[in-house]
Amino acid sequence: MRKEYDFSKGTRNPYAARLKQQITIRLESETIGYFKAMAHKMGMSYQHLINLYLRDCVSRQRKLTFKWAD
């Protein structure tokens, strides 16, 4: 590999902004810990793992069902 590369004539990917959207989401620390531990075992980032899980929910059109405790 070269020590330095010249990117002065490079262009940004025009489609990159359409691929993913950055958001802020508040999750419980237990939930984050779960995904971090699982992601570590799988050798990927926990953000990527959460994205894969949510994408799977979308593709299977899963519906959340729950009941509030009395």
H runs (alpha helix) in the chain = 16-19, 29-42, 46-59
33 lies in some domain = yes
68 lies in some domain = no
**C-alpha atoms less than 13 angstroms from C-alpha of 18 in its C-beta half-sphere:** 4
What domain count does the chain have?
1
- Is there a contact between 39 and 48 (Cβ–Cβ < 8 Å)? yes
3 lies in some domain = no
Q: How far apart are CA 70 and CA 67, in angstroms?
A: 9
2 lies in some domain = no
38 lies in some domain = yes
35 lies in some domain = yes
Structural domain range at position 32: 27-59
- In tens digits, the chain (70 residues) has pLDDT values of 788 898 899 888 888 777 888 899 999 999 999 999 999 999 999 999 999 999 999 999 999 888 888 7
16 lies in some domain = no
18 lies in some domain = no
